[in-house]
């Protein structure tokens, strides 16, 4: 997956987790929690959805890497580089 593919996948996951949120104006460098009403369970849902959809394993101590879109894409890029987006 390219960084843009990963970004689109994260937006898709966020749309499933927080369907009432407006995701069209997400700022990549700004933490998700400052832009969306997400709690710790929502972040766990993101991790679980990545595992379910793409078999991407994210250790609990690395959850902080998923704070913003920019950090999430940077973190996931090497883990998802060989995944073909369906």
Domain ranges of the chain: 3-18+30-80
pLDDT at 86: 63
Which of 16, 17, 23, 70 lies closest to 40 in space, CA to CA? Answer: 17
pLDDT at 84 over 90: no
pLDDT digits (tens, 9 = 90+) for 26-71: 999 999 999 999 888 998 999 999 999 999 999 999 999 999 999 9
CATH value of 3-18+30-80 in 1.10.1200.10, 1.10.760.10, 1.10.260.40, 3.90.1150.10: 1.10.1200.10
Distance of CA 54 to the CA centre of its chain: 12
């Amino acid at each position: 997956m390219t960084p843009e593919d990963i970004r689109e996948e994260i937006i898709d996951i966020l749309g499933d987790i927080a369907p009432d949120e407006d995701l069209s104006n997400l700022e990549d460098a700004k933490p998700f929690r400052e832009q969306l009403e997400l709690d710790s369970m929502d972040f766990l849902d993101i991790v679980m959805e990545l595992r379910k959809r793409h078999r991407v394993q994210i250790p609990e101590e690395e959850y902080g890497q998923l704070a913003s879109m920019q950090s999430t894409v940077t973190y996931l890029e090497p883990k998802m580089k060989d995944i073909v987006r369906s």
